[in-house]
Amino acid sequence: MNQALFIGGMHKSFNRVPILKNISLWCYSGEIIGLFGRNGSGKSTLLKCIYGVIKKDEGQVLIDGKRMTFQKIIREKKIGYLPQNSFLPKEKSVRNLIPLFFPEEAKQDAIFYAPGVHKLEKTRVGKLSLGSLRYLEVLFLMNCDHPFLMLDEPFSMIQPLYKERIKELLLSAKKEKGIIITDHYYEDVLTISDRNILVKDRKLIPINSADDLKIAGYLR
């Protein structure tokens, strides 16, 4: 059954400077939304407000009509969130890290036997390349039970091989989850997204193609 994430009437300011103004957005399971915007436009702030790691000034977050708080999102495992900075402990090896996050043997196997992971098993997280680390983080997130996922710059500064693996993971996860991605690597996002939105002047603008991004001033 499709599930729905709704963000309604969201406002956020920092030091009395408006960043987001009356933002409303739907995301359904079975779709990937690409979220674009220049640095400082508020796209990362929007994800953080939805998840609850920073407090919105006004607005609501609903899942299937039920109001969500940060505590509910965490407790009920409603939204998985990939921030720009790594959330994995640097001192653990990949092999030892997997069972810490996934006690179920089936999920451990799904991660350990995913392409490329066995080559990393003895490596400490802090020693992984940026591409390997991001791939592992996305792999962890895709195997969580959350019906919605938000990823902040999953493609940033990583080599093409890992980009393709991450795209495959996202397209597979889309069958059961709703996904919101923000990234400056717009071409990578456009190849997998179903809908696209630009954050500009504190508002959301629907985007249908790279040409629309040029018209809106995001690209030259």
Q: What is the CATH number of the domain that holds 49?
A: 3.40.50.300
Alpha helices for the chain (secondary structure H): 43-51, 70-75, 94-101, 105-112, 130-142, 160-173, 186-190, 210-215
> Tens of pLDDT along 3-16?
999 999 999 999 99
Q: How far apart are CA 59 and CA 52, in angstroms?
A: 12
> Tens of pLDDT along 103-154?
999 999 999 999 999 999 999 999 999 999 999 999 999 999 999 999 999 9
Q: In this structure, is residue 142 part of a structural domain? A: yes
DSSP 150-187: EEESTTTT--HHHHHHHHHHHHHHTTT-EEEEE-S-HH
Per-chain mean pLDDT for the chain: 94
Range of the domain at 176: 4-215
- Grouped pLDDT means (10 residues each) for the chain, 220 residues: 92 94 96 96 96 95 96 96 93 94 94 93 94 93 95 92 94 96 96 97 93 91
Q: In this structure, is residue 202 part of a structural domain? A: yes
Q: How far apart are CA 21 and CA 124, in angstroms?
A: 42
pLDDT (0 to 100) of residue 185: 94
- Beta-carbon-side half-sphere exposure of residue 124 (alpha carbons within 13 Å): 6
Total of domains in the chain? 1
Q: In this structure, is residue 23 part of a structural domain? A: yes
